[in-house]
């Protein structure tokens, strides 16, 4: 995460702080990853939920990202570790990609340190942001185009099965 312009809601900051404390209590490995995220969270600019811009990735956002080297695009829901399920495209905030996109805006390019090396990731679209879309009838409708294109959609709160769309 870039320390200069990372935004976080006060609610996310509080819940993430509690999550990090639990991670230390259970000796989460790799500890340096947790410490790095904790430091970045400490430097993030916190705002009230209604003050978060509509294009910023927050917890439980559904975001379309593109790997700039491979050109591959994937849609993920950014979730807490206990909700993570990569088979359903729900990525943990403690994963390198989750940490990289959190608090950043659509159009930004971020760096994610993965086991295979550094990856440059563009935040291509924000399909759903809880602070922006919770008042609407269905936040999932915002992702229907992306889901149709990829044949699946990731919902943070429930298990999904992958399906293939045939055109």
| Extents of the domains making up the chain | 7-150
pLDDT tens-digit profile, the chain (167 residues): 343 467 888 888 888 877 777 665 555 555 666 677 777 777 788 888 888 999 999 999 999 999 999 999 999 999 988 899 999 999 998 888 999 999 999 999 999 988 888 999 999 999 999 999 976 544 444 454 444 444 444 444 443 333 333 33
Structure-token pair, residue 66: 């593109």
What CATH number does the domain located at 7-150 have? 3.10.50.30
Q: Which secondary-structure segment (H or E) carries 145?
A: helix 144-150
Query: What pTM was estimated for this model as a whole?
Result: 0.69
Q: At what angle do helices 10-25 and 31-43 cross, to 10 degrees?
A: 160
CA atoms within 13 A on the CB side of 167: 4
The pLDDT of residue 157:
43
* Alpha-carbon distance values, 166 to 100, 149, 153 (Å): 33, 10, 15
Secondary structure of residue 160 in the 3-state scheme: coil
The pLDDT of residue 101:
96
């Amino acid at each position: 995460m870039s320390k200069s312009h990372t935004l976080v809601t006060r609610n996310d900051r509080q819940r993430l702080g509690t999550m990090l404390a639990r991670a230390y209590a259970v000796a989460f490995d790799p500890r340096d990853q947790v410490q790095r995220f904790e430091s970045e969270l400490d430097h993030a600019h916190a705002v009230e939920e209604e003050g978060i811009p509509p294009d910023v990735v927050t917890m439980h956002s559904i975001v379309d990202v593109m790997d700039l080297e491979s050109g591959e695009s994937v849609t993920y829901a950014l979730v807490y570790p206990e909700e993570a399920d990569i088979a359903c495209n729900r990525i943990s905030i403690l994963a390198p990609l989750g940490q990289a996109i959190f608090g950043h805006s659509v159009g930004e390019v971020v760096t994610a340190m993965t086991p295979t090396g550094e990856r440059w990731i563009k935040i291509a679209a924000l399909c759903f942001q809880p602070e922006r879309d919770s008042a609407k009838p269905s936040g999932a409708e915002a992702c229907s185009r992306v889901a149709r294109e990829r044949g699946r959609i990731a919902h943070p709160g429930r298990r999904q099965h992958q399906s293939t769309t045939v055109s």
